[in-house]
Structure 1
Amino acid sequence: MKKQFIKIVIVVAVFNLFSCTEDFEAINTNSTGQSEITLPDLFKGIYSNIVIAKPEWQYQLQQNLNADLWSGYMATPTGFAGGSNNSTYNLIDGWNDFAWAPTYKNIIAFTDAIERKTKNVQNDFYALSLLLKVQAMHKVTDTFGPAVYSQYGTGVLPVSYDSQEEIYNAMFTDLETAITHLTNKIQSGEPSNLAGVDKTVYAGDMTKWVKFGNSLRLRLAMRITKINPVLAKTEAEKSFAHTIGVITENNEILSLNIPHPVGVISEGWKDIRMSADMESILVGYSDPRLSKYFKESVQFPTEYKGVRTGINIISKSDHQDFSGLSDEIVSKITFMTAAEVYFLRAEGALRGWNMGGISQLLYEEGVKKSFEQHAATNATAYLADNSSVPTNYVDTAPGYAVNNTNAVSTITIEWNDIDTNELKLERIITQKWIACFPDGQEAWSEHRRTGYPKLFPVIKNTSGGIIDSNLGVRRINFPISEVNANAAGVASGVSKLNGPDNGATRLWWDTTGSNF
């Protein structure tokens, strides 16, 4: 953390050497002829670190060997660290630092620099940086809980942590600031200045960025439904009622057209495979998206085979030829889909919020949008299926029958209006879980919040009794690198937890009890 703050001071000092004007070129030009970090460079650094595309091993530690596993999306056939690692609930500090440090060093340092450079000069860039800041930081706080947010960039050590509640309130404020500015700019008829810094498929389209901002606000609002239902409803309805609104079409999906790093991890290294949970649900549903997400097993041709997380791995070769990820699914990095937003609205409608439709129709539209996104067919027939359920899991690798288990859910696909709200929610979240693949961070957060979809428990638990095999990992402990550099700051964060600094302590929004 100390090096990080030194870096900010250096960046800010460079910026302060030059006066700012309202002209984009002037903002990025050093009149003395010396080199300066430009806005495109700063934004490029942000995009490439929300999901670390290169080197791939950093993404493997940033998300793949934590949230991607704990979400039930993927599993590893590799017995890292002697078979005692994140997959068996022994949280390895050297790995988990990558879920923290890159966000501060290569995203928040850059958004802080952009703010100092443009906040009172060219607010288009500041507004975009706020949207990206919230996109990055909600992943950090949903992984660790308390974190550095309001005190970032002060240059003073120790740096105090905000509670997760404080961070969420600040993120809602930052989203409102960004959305309001871009909306006013659109309504004024002025052209966008963002094309030169926007490397996403939006290419500087302010309307799409506003829709993303509202959709992100809706996502965060849903996260706090159990801990602060009044604020959740307010923020969710504000997003939908906004004059520009939320993402509704697949051509509004936010993504980067660069290969997803999990492709190399899957097909290059064979360190990640389809999960047993994915096999149980997608095979049980005869889901047409199965072949869009995964490849057939090399070991068992014509079959889709998943690996169960938290097992005793004797040899990597036993499962490395189970199903890997498809070429399509790893062809780009996706941050937000239209399908997810429809499922968010479906849950909101289930809770009695104004989401522009009834829960059933929004649920069904979410499924249809997911099918359309992946060019899957027969969505209508799929939605009419009232009998298919997740299937039992059989580990077909020789010598691994101990991993076999019955399905843990009997939820069907077709909407049933006489079901309880809890069953309806399980149906919505299960389909949202399918549609959000491969974003394991979002899936893990929603699983912790709702308990859905129901996932297979680990068999091998090496947490030393800290983490419950059935409840799973609730958060990651603060990394040792942060403890060493900002011990008093970490202590302030621990004081704002609901328990000890370990993987069993629930986050602020992760409360027990019914979803309704």
Structure 2
Amino acid sequence: MKRFIYKLSVAAVASLLLASSCKKFGDTNVDPTRSSNMDPSIQLTNTQLRFSGDLNTNERVSFMMTMPLVQHITGSYSNRWGSTYFNNPNFMGVLWEEAYPNDLVNIIDAVKRTDGVENKTNLNAVCRIVKVYSFARMTDLYGDIPYSEAGLGIKAKFDTQEAIYDSFFAELTAATAQLDAGKDVVAGDIFYNGDITLWKKFANSLHLRLAMRLVKVNPAKAQAEAQKAYNAGVFTSNSDICKTNHEDIQNPYEEVGRGNIKGNAVSASFFNGGATPSRFTTPFIAQLRDTNDPRLKYIARYYIDESSATPQNRTDITDQLVPLAGYVGIAPGSYIWDEPYLPAVSITVPGKGVISASNNDQKVQLASFLIRFNAPFLHQTYSEVELLLAEATVRFGASFGESAASHYAKGIEAACLQLSLFPGGPTMTSAEMNNFITQNALLPGREIELINKQLWITLLLNGPEAYANWRRSGFPALVPAVGVSETSESLTIPRRFEYPFSEQEQNRENYLTVLPALGGTDSWNGRVWWDKL
């Protein structure tokens, strides 16, 4: 990845050029909002790395909002916005205000620069796929957004989410057909290093994910698009996973040129400013414990709570505490210091002797290997694909290659094995996985529930996607954490992000057109188009 550092500094400058308008009249044949000689491969790299490497975005969107909303984590004061439902427009607006002038403007421009260029057809197709992927995160969080006119340097109209999704399906189909291993080599690609076969699989797998968003709002279209995606060829093993391999660097919010996006920003969020790292929630721990999930002992660990701790130097005290109390999480909406406040216990730790484990030490955390700064960010996994195929088979019939039970079993096995992709992560045994799958078979009438509970686990650390899948499926049946520790600003789990104030002020005429679909108010309790009861 180090070879991209110089490129990224150039890309950061390009973002500023692309986001600003020219104040002097020049050649009217040159778009004043575009650099005349920008390399689209650099723009691709920048967009890919920023997706999971920009701390300003990922801390707020994932760590502070979506991961607590979907009840993966809680306990830290920084989780209160999503865990206790405190409405903070700045946090909800940060993705919008960071992505449009950076990630999105670059990938939009990269698509334009390579469109119709004979020796860049593969690069163009890859950029089109990344454009869909980047915009999907946006529209799934906000709903209707500027799309068709985005990046043009004008006050862009808002496209309906339905129209945006129609465009997504068309773009992914066209881009997949355009990819050709016999044509140009894609430079600057950190997802797949230019592997055209894997890009086709990712495009089709992303197509499947987006198709399954529509199961409530338009089941017929969901089925048709899911079938199209499957027939075109989706992921078939963990070697197909789309991921970013980050460097072992704790990203700051900013540095000169805003270029430090090399580390995993979601991981950095857990240790930012010496804050108390989040803990697992009681519902998440209960799901693993009550099903005898073998992943529990690997991903849930106890550590001595030290302000100077990092994923590399934490003292693991799991072996000492599990025999005493099992795995203790924190109720959604609670802080680590809330009740029950556990009395200190004396334990013997190799190399440290007898220590007093405090209340904080006795609340279980994410294992260090999951949140190392060089942990890979998993954009889409084979596990997710198999579980979606299992659900598609239940909903639409046996036209997705195998039985729902077979897809389900493969999805669980892949989820267990993907832990080994993390530095220091475990390689689970066949016996562990097979016993678990046998004990947790699909039950008639509960297939959708059980499949999506496994997706809830699989999507740990991908907050926006876990949040989207929970909203579209309704599982697990999360209980709102209303007034647990403090008075909440919503009586239900919020369903979307509100638009930023900047859009209300600077693009007000277009902003007002989307309010009727939300019931007349830009509320986080409104629902995006595909999120139906």
Q: Are 2:391 and 2:448, in contact at CA under 8 Å, matched by a contact in 1?
A: yes
Q: Which residue of 2 aligns with 1:45?
A: 46
1:365 aligns with 2:410: yes
How far is the alpha carbon of 1:313 from its aligned partner?
6.7
Q: Are 1:345 and 1:362, in contact at CA under 8 Å, matched by a contact in 2?
A: yes
Q: Which residue of 2 aligns with 1:170?
A: 167
1:66 aligns with 2:36: no
Q: Which residue of 2 aligns with 1:217?
A: 207
Separation in structure 1 between the aligned mates of residue 360 and residue 523 of structure 2, nearest angstrom: 30
Q: Which residue of 1 aligns with 2:260?
A: none
How far is the alpha carbon of 1:91 from its aligned partner?
1.6
Separation in structure 1 between the aligned mates of residue 287 and residue 467 of structure 2, nearest angstrom: 16
Separation in structure 1 between the aligned mates of residue 39 and residue 391 of structure 2, nearest angstrom: 42
1:351 alignment partner, SS class: helix
1:110 aligned residue (95, 106, 109): 106
Separation in structure 2 between the aligned mates of residue 64 and residue 434 of structure 1, nearest angstrom: 16
Q: Are 1:263 and 1:325, in contact at CA under 8 Å, matched by a contact in 2?
A: no
- Structure 1, residues 33-52: CA drift from partner, whole Å, max 9, x if none? xxx4322321122012222x
Q: Which residue of 2 aligns with 1:501?
A: 522
How far is the alpha carbon of 1:464 from its aligned partner?
8.3
1:381 aligned residue (418, 429, 435): 435
Q: Which residue of 1 aligns with 2:384?
A: 340
Q: Which residue of 1 aligns with 2:138?
A: 140
Separation in structure 1 between the aligned mates of residue 296 and residue 485 of structure 2, nearest angstrom: 32
1:265 aligns with 2:269: yes
Separation in structure 2 between the aligned mates of residue 461 and residue 166 of structure 1, nearest angstrom: 40
How far is the alpha carbon of 1:5 from its aligned partner?
9.8
**What letter corresponds to residue 494 of structure 2 in structure 1?**
V
Q: Which residue of 2 aligns with 1:390?
A: none
Q: Are 2:144 and 2:514, in contact at CA under 8 Å, matched by a contact in 1?
A: yes
Q: Which residue of 2 aligns with 1:227?
A: 217
1:446 aligned residue (462, 465, 469): 469
Paired residues, number = 445
Separation in structure 2 between the aligned mates of residue 427 and residue 198 of structure 1, nearest angstrom: 36
**What letter corresponds to residue 133 of structure 2 in structure 1?**
Q
Separation in structure 2 between the aligned mates of residue 99 and residue 351 of structure 1, nearest angstrom: 33
Separation in structure 2 between the aligned mates of residue 62 and residue 465 of structure 1, nearest angstrom: 19
CA RMSD of aligned residues (A): 2.9
Q: Are 1:77 and 1:319, in contact at CA under 8 Å, matched by a contact in 2?
A: no
Separation in structure 2 between the aligned mates of residue 219 and residue 309 of structure 1, nearest angstrom: 27
- Structure 1, residues 40-73: CA drift from partner, whole Å, max 9, x if none? 321122012222x24x354211322111111121
- Structure 1, residues 385-408: CA drift from partner, whole Å, max 9, x if none? 1xxxxxxxxxxxxxxxxxxxxxxx
Q: How does 1:178-257 map to 2 (within 5 A)?
A: 178-182=175-179, 185-186=180-181, 190-194=182-186, 196-200=187-191, 202-242=192-232, 245-257=233-245
2:330 aligned residue (278, 290, 307): 307
2:518 alignment partner, SS class: coil
2:379 alignment partner, SS class: strand
TM-score, reference length from structure 1? 0.79
Q: Which residue of 1 aligns with 2:497?
A: 476
Query: Measured at CA, do residues 309 and 334 of structure 1 come closer, stay the same or move farther in structure 2, by a change above 3 Å?
Result: same
2:105 alignment partner, SS class: helix
Moved more, 460-469 or 366-375: 460-469
Q: Are 1:86 and 1:92, in contact at CA under 8 Å, matched by a contact in 2?
A: no
**What letter corresponds to residue 480 of structure 1 in structure 2?**
F
How far is the alpha carbon of 1:318 from its aligned partner?
5.8
Separation in structure 2 between the aligned mates of residue 140 and residue 153 of structure 1, nearest angstrom: 14
How far is the alpha carbon of 1:263 from its aligned partner?
2.2
Q: Are 2:18 and 2:105, in contact at CA under 8 Å, matched by a contact in 1?
A: no
1:493 alignment partner, SS class: coil
2:481 alignment partner, SS class: coil
2:158 alignment partner, SS class: coil
Separation in structure 2 between the aligned mates of residue 322 and residue 463 of structure 1, nearest angstrom: 20
Q: Are 1:146 and 1:496, in contact at CA under 8 Å, matched by a contact in 2?
A: no
Q: Which residue of 1 aligns with 2:346?
A: none
- Structure 1, residues 11-54: CA drift from partner, whole Å, max 9, x if none? xx99x869xxxxxxxxx9x8xxxxx4322321122012222x24
Separation in structure 2 between the aligned mates of residue 178 and residue 320 of structure 1, nearest angstrom: 50
Q: Are 1:271 and 1:320, in contact at CA under 8 Å, matched by a contact in 2?
A: no
TM-score, reference length from structure 2? 0.77
1:356 aligns with 2:353: no
Query: Measured at CA, do residues 337 and 204 of structure 1 come closer, stay the same or move farther in structure 2, by a change above 3 Å?
Result: same
Q: Are 1:297 and 1:304, in contact at CA under 8 Å, matched by a contact in 2?
A: no
Query: Measured at CA, do residues 344 and 499 of structure 1 come closer, stay the same or move farther in structure 2, by a change above 3 Å?
Result: farther
Separation in structure 2 between the aligned mates of residue 8 and residue 288 of structure 1, nearest angstrom: 52
Q: How does 1:6-21 map to 2 (within 5 A)?
A: 7=19
- Structure 1, residues 92-143: CA drift from partner, whole Å, max 9, x if none? 0111112322221222101121122111112212211111111111111111
1:284 aligns with 2:290: yes
- Structure 1, residues 134-163: CA drift from partner, whole Å, max 9, x if none? 111111111111101112133322x21011
1:326 aligns with 2:361: no
Query: Measured at CA, do residues 482 and 271 of structure 1 come closer, stay the same or move farther in structure 2, by a change above 3 Å?
Result: farther
Q: Are 2:64 and 2:78, in contact at CA under 8 Å, matched by a contact in 1?
A: no
How far is the alpha carbon of 1:360 from its aligned partner?
0.9
How far is the alpha carbon of 1:231 from its aligned partner?
1.0
Moved more, 312-321 or 139-148: 312-321
Separation in structure 2 between the aligned mates of residue 67 and residue 257 of structure 1, nearest angstrom: 22
How far is the alpha carbon of 1:493 from its aligned partner?
2.4
Separation in structure 1 between the aligned mates of residue 460 and residue 513 of structure 2, nearest angstrom: 35
Separation in structure 2 between the aligned mates of residue 147 and residue 5 of structure 1, nearest angstrom: 23
**What letter corresponds to residue 152 of structure 1 in structure 2?**
A
1:384 alignment partner, SS class: helix
Separation in structure 2 between the aligned mates of residue 463 and residue 130 of structure 1, nearest angstrom: 44
Separation in structure 2 between the aligned mates of residue 367 and residue 430 of structure 1, nearest angstrom: 11
Identity across matched positions, percent: 25
- Structure 1, residues 263-296: CA drift from partner, whole Å, max 9, x if none? 2332453342222222111122232222433322
Q: Are 1:68 and 1:444, in contact at CA under 8 Å, matched by a contact in 2?
A: yes
Query: Measured at CA, do residues 116 and 352 of structure 1 come closer, stay the same or move farther in structure 2, by a change above 3 Å?
Result: closer
Q: Are 1:474 and 1:504, in contact at CA under 8 Å, matched by a contact in 2?
A: yes
**What letter corresponds to residue 379 of structure 1 in structure 2?**
M
Q: Are 1:274 and 1:323, in contact at CA under 8 Å, matched by a contact in 2?
A: yes
1:98 aligns with 2:97: no
Q: Which residue of 1 aligns with 2:483?
A: 460
2:77 alignment partner, SS class: coil
Query: Measured at CA, do residues 502 and 320 of structure 1 come closer, stay the same or move farther in structure 2, by a change above 3 Å?
Result: farther
How far is the alpha carbon of 1:253 from its aligned partner?
0.5
Separation in structure 1 between the aligned mates of residue 522 and residue 60 of structure 2, nearest angstrom: 20
Q: Which residue of 1 aligns with 2:312?
A: none
